Amino acid sequence: MKLAKTLSISLAAAISAATMGVGVAYAAEGTADTYYPDSFECSLSFESGLVDYAVYGDSYAFAYNGQLAVLQGNGNNQRLPDIKPVSSISQLDYSTDGKLYVCFADGYCVYPDLENKLPLSQISVQDSEQWQVSLGEVTYSLNNANGSLLYMSKDGFETVTIKESVEGEIEFSKLKQYDNAAYAVMNNSLYKLEGSVAVKVEPTYYGFIDKTKAIPTGTAAQALKADSPITCGWVEKGKYYTEISLENELGTTFEVPNPATATYLSEDRLYCMVLAESGNAYVITMGGKCYLAAKTSVSVEAENPALSTADVSAAYAVEKIGVYSRPYLSAATKLCELESGSSNAVTVLGQFTDLVGREYYKIEYTANDGTKVSGFAAKGLMTGYAFPAEDTEVHPDGGDSEFLYNTNAVTVGLAIAIVALVIIAVLYVASISSKKNKKNNRKKQRQKRAERDRRRYDDDDDDYDDDYE
């Protein structure tokens, strides 16, 4: 009986260790309504302190208020994390092959390495205080004293104006040339010069970091723990969704593991399980991970997936495990813990397999305090075999909090497997030996028959000789 129980625990633990994820403790409720961005496009602007700029195709670099902002183009339009160098930046410039030179008073660096300074004499950069830029038959001339900018062509010259209305006088600075185009700065904004008109440049980028680093959790904590049917749906093609973590208690904002790379754009319709609704967003799971997506990006299925018939009607936990409101094991969905042993019997209402093949029992039972509990538990951590709880030694690292099943049952299971392998090896050697003995016996028998036949032949030959004589 003891062996049967040990094998049951060992098998349940081994199966779950291969299939389960990570679950943790209870999650707290947020305060503000959840708002998932309807757009991630941002424009870069500076209120003050713009020191210099550089342009390379659709990539931009700005030195402002002691910091360096870089917008990476090439169709990605990503704003890389701003850097604050130890020294003050004096100038910026792009080389013809796209290297960004960051210049200081005592040398220059090649972005993103701002530690290794090289002599300024090694490079040639545009002077941000230059007064003239020539583009073929067109020349721009800047009066650095008063900020006036002249546009000169074969037809004459005129003062450069801007499209939008501004307060005060128009004063340009930092005249530069990039890619056969002229640029200048006015009121901490970059302008591209098109003829005698200056057009404001507002570089746009996808602000995944800025817009996902502090998304309010709202009522997500309550919604994730509430009793709710299993719901599935589809993230529509061309919609954004952001990976979040439910491994720790929910605070006032969702935990985004890596804001720079956590947001994805769906290239096709993606099937998902909807865990909760909060504000304008759904908490969903796909591929064993959890995400946040706008409600408008997810089409929820009208019919809820049904539970399948379970292989047992009652079950017991092989060690202390968690009970969860959803078939997704995490801090935010954890309802309580179920002690091991047959004294903590639960009724199995059905079973469910999630989108990555993990199996769960839907269970219900009455806790010791009289509370009725209904939720999901990892099937691999439960068994229909009844055993007393005090008969189970649980390794401190065991349980569904880490899904590491380093219990004594595993050790016993491994020992049994090793013994079984030894027995198989012994039987194999015995079988080989038996076959060899049989082969030798058959050989000896053939030799005996041959000897007997030879003797018989000799006797017959002697008789023949006697008769002949």
Q: In the predicted model, is pLDDT for residue 15 greater than 60? A: no
Q: How confident is the model at residue 283 (pLDDT cuts 50, 70, 90)?
A: very high
Q: Which residues contact 118 (CB under 8 A, 6 or more apart)?
A: 107, 108, 109, 110
Residue 20 has pLDDT above 60, yes or no: no
- Do 145 and 277 share a structural domain? no
Label residue 444 by pLDDT band (50, 70, 90): low
| The two structure tokens encoding residue 182 | 């002229």
C-alpha 266/C-alpha 217 separation (Å) is 23
Same domain, 334 and 415: no
Would you state the pLDDT for residue 67?
94
- At residue 19 the predicted structure's pLDDT band, cuts being 50, 70 and 90, is very low
Same-domain pairing of 218 and 319: yes
Position 12 scores a pLDDT of 38
Name the average pLDDT for the chain: 82
* Same domain as 350, residue 241: yes
Report the pLDDT averaged over residues 376-386. 89
pTM over 0.85: no
Distance CA 55, CA 378 (A): 56
Q: What percent of the chain has pLDDT over 90?
A: 58
Domain for residue 11, yes or no? no
- Report pLDDT for 344: 85
Percent of the chain with pLDDT over 70: 75
pLDDT grade for 28, boundaries at 50, 70 and 90: very low
Q: Are 251 and 357 part of one and the same domain?
A: yes
Say if residue 348 is in the same domain as residue 232.
yes
Indicate if 417 and 400 belong to the same structural domain.
no
Please indicate, yes or no, if residue 129 is contained in any of the structural domains.
Answer: yes
Q: Decide which of 404, 425, 452 is a domain's last residue.
A: 404
Average pLDDT for residues 20-43, to the nearest whole number? 64
| Domain count along the chain | 3
pLDDT-derived band of residue 387, with 50, 70 and 90 as boundaries? low
Q: Is the same domain home to 235 and 116? A: no
Range of the domain at 168: 41-206
Is 74 among the domain residues?
yes
For the segment 388-429, what is each residue's pLDDT rounded down to a tens digit? Answer: 655 444 434 334 543 333 334 444 455 566 666 767 766 766
pLDDT, tens digit, 9 for 90 and up, residues 112-157: 999 999 999 999 998 888 899 999 999 999 998 999 999 999 889 9
Which of 176, 206, 236 marks a domain boundary? Answer: 206
413 and 394 part of one domain: no
